[in-house]
Amino acid sequence: MENENENLNGGIVADEGRNTPLFDDSAGQPEEGYVTGAYGQGGEVPVQPNVNGYAAQPAPYGQPVPYGQPAYAGYAYRQPLPMPAEFAPPRGNITDAVIKTTGLTKLYGGRAVVDNVFMTVARGEIYGFIGNNGAGKTTLIRMLTGLAAPSAGSIALFGNDSYAGLKAARKKTGSVIETPAIYRNMNAVDNLKIRADLLGIKPDFGEALKAVGLDDVGNKLAKDFSMGMKQRLGIAAAILGDPELLVLDEPVNGLDPEGILEFREFLKYVNQARGITILISSHILGELYKLATAYGVIREGKLVAEFSKSALDSMSRPYVRLTVDNPVSAKRALADAGIFQTELSHNNVIRVYERISELHILVQTLTGAGVVTLSYEAVTDDSESFLISLMGGMRA
């Protein structure tokens, strides 16, 4: 091959230990291709088309192609998809989707605040929607709930994407977006009565308030509530009428640690006992990890990844973090010793995903190859670091 960074069909392949999508100028149709291994070495291996859309990894998702080894037979599309190969595959094959967006886009002043988003939320999930402030979380949620119109693309709720179908589906949806919509000069029960009148229902207000820990506020006016109490009142209003879908935008803002714990347990309860599907956005990663069963990560308006809780645990599995004077030489030395599950990071860091309990052997291997190890440590839980890297931060 004239250029070892190209496959036989003209697409881009492994670079710095990762596969990137294969594509050409034609759109939409899969085709066979060939890729080389890490750093352009290892020979060519055929790539078969499949719905995943990306070249498969020899290790679990999130790991690079081993140095000097051929890339395993994987998948290719003629057009690139928005999710990098090292992340989990798209979830578009979910059949019982409560939320499904297709190419959803929102433009403000010609700028895409939400950019070509394909999101899938399955029935019964607690879907953690993650992104930095300004990433597009609230704008996308406003489109889902009908508070903003898409510039392009489509939304389906409970399988309905027509105007009438979406209108009916949103009646089965409770939501709290940004700040709760409450009447400051009314007490908690009167606030709920207004919501109930709009829905045309006669619920048990006491039960709704008890569910969120506001059953003892009496006639206290909402203007005298703390921020946390206002959030709880908004949730109580959202669950009136037993919705099948609950959409919450940064709902733990203003809650103290005890309130966050109670709120988390409440959401688990309504999800498991009532079967309510929940979409919850937040930038508090540790809290979402304890709650969500699936995740979507948005960065600069693009949905860069979707995966289940089990996939997240797999992608953020334990590793050894080594800081060395020459990471490329270190990666090569480890490969020569039969240790292929490694990944280069920033600041002269190399991550090793095998033989984690044998730190001394890893260091000895590098020393024997003339590589100086400046520091090393075993990392057992890195889910938060992994999510931060997807959000646009750096992963050590």
- Which amino acid is located at 201 in the chain? I
More confident residue, 78 or 182: 182
Grade residue 82 by pLDDT with cuts at 50, 70 and 90: very low
pTM of the model: 0.65
Phi-psi region of 136 (alpha: psi -120 to 50; beta: other; left: phi over 0): left
Tell me what pLDDT residue 93 has: 60
Interval 295-324: pLDDT, tens: 999 999 999 888 888 878 766 778 899 999
Tell me what pLDDT residue 279 has: 97
Interval 260-297: pLDDT, tens: 888 888 889 889 988 999 999 987 888 888 899 999 99
Tell me what pLDDT residue 102 has: 92
Tell me what pLDDT residue 266 has: 84
The upper half-sphere exposure of residue 292, i.e. CA atoms within 13 Å in the direction of its Cβ, equals 31
The residues spanned by each domain of the chain are: 1-86, 97-313, 317-380
- What CATH number should be reported for the domain whose range is 97-313? 3.40.50.300
Q: What is the mean pLDDT of residues 220-246?
A: 89
Q: Which two tokens stand for residue 387?
A: 């999510």
Tell me what pLDDT residue 381 has: 60
Q: Which one is the CATH code of 317-380: 3.30.70.100, 3.40.50.300, 3.30.420.40, 3.40.640.10? A: 3.30.70.100
Question: What is each CA distance from 21 to 10, 65, 80, 82, 137, in whole angstroms?
Answer: 11, 14, 6, 10, 26
More confident residue, 372 or 76: 372
More confident residue, 227 or 39: 227
User: DSSP letters along 42-53, please?
Assistant: S--EEE---TT-
User: DSSP letters along 307-371, please?
Assistant: EEHHHHHHHT--EEEEEES-HHHHHHHHHHTT---EEE-STTEEEE-S-TT-HHHHHHHHHHTTP
Q: For residues 175 and 230, what is the distance between their CA atoms, to the nearest angstrom?
A: 14
Q: For residues 20 and 22, what is the distance between their CA atoms, to the nearest angstrom?
A: 7
Task: Using the predicted structure, report yes or no on whether residue 128 has a pLDDT greater than 90.
Answer: yes
Q: What is the mean pLDDT of residues 144-170?
A: 94
- Segments of 51-157 assigned E as strands: 97-108, 111-117, 120-122, 126-130, 152-157
User: DSSP letters along 274-292, please?
Assistant: S--EEEEEES-HHHHHHH-
- Which amino acid is located at 80 in the chain? P
Grade residue 91 by pLDDT with cuts at 50, 70 and 90: low
378 contacts 118 by C-beta, under 8 angstroms: no
Interval 40-57: pLDDT, tens: 222 333 333 322 333 333
